[in-house]
Amino acid sequence: MGNNILYIEDNPDNMMLVKRALEARGYILIEAMTGLKGVDTAENHEVDLILLDINLPDIDGYEVARRLRASAKKALAYTPIIAITANALKGDAEKALSAGCDVYMSKPINIRELWARVEAFVPAPDQKA
Ligand code: MN
């Protein structure tokens, strides 16, 4: 298993925050700023985990998750997807999960929660024995 994490996010501040936090643990962050770019990147690169913003400028995160799960690239049916959204409204978690996401996190992003959720799927490279 590799250390490549794809983050699909249109907000540059969140992108920078997560990039710094994950690179500090030895992960490699791959960036995509739109939903369509995210799907394309996942299909054409080796990706071990996907962080997925729900509010995106083109197709939303739910649609991204559905397309990833239905992709011709079979590995994407099982690649962990962590949904991240600003909408703490009830029902969003269920919607993300039913679209194919494994876990749900709400913004603002808490770095310790992020590390814990990512490490649950992909061990931190800096902490491998
Ligand atoms: Mn967004």
CA 81 to ligand 1 center in whole angstroms: 16
127 falls within a domain: no
Average pLDDT, the chain: 94
CA 46 to ligand 1 center in whole angstroms: 24
Give the domain CATH number at 74.
3.40.50.2300
* Residue 76, domain extent: 4-121
79 falls within a domain: yes
CA 120 to ligand 1 center in whole angstroms: 24
Query: Nearest to residue 48, comparing CAs of 67, 26, 66, 15?
Result: 26
- Angle between helix 61-69 and helix 35-44 axes, rounded to 10 deg: 20
CA 70 to ligand 1 center in whole angstroms: 23
CA 54 to ligand 1 center in whole angstroms: 6
Can you read off the two tokens belonging to residue 27?
């992960």
129 falls within a domain: no
Distance CA 63, CA 101 (A): 11
CA 96 to ligand 1 center in whole angstroms: 15
Confidence tier at 129 by pLDDT (50, 70, 90): very low
pLDDT digits (tens, 9 = 90+) for 19-71: 999 999 999 999 999 999 999 999 999 999 999 999 999 999 999 999 999 99
pTM given for the model: 0.95
Contacts of 54 (CB under 8 A, 6+ apart): 60, 61, 62, 83, 84, 85, 86, 87, 92, 96
CA 10 to ligand 1 center in whole angstroms: 5
The predicted model gives 63-80 an average pLDDT of 98
Encode 36-68: b = buried (16+ Cβ within 10 Å), e = exposed.
bbbbebbeeeebbbbbbbbebeeebbbbbbbbb
Predicted pLDDT at 28:
98
Number of domains in the chain: 1
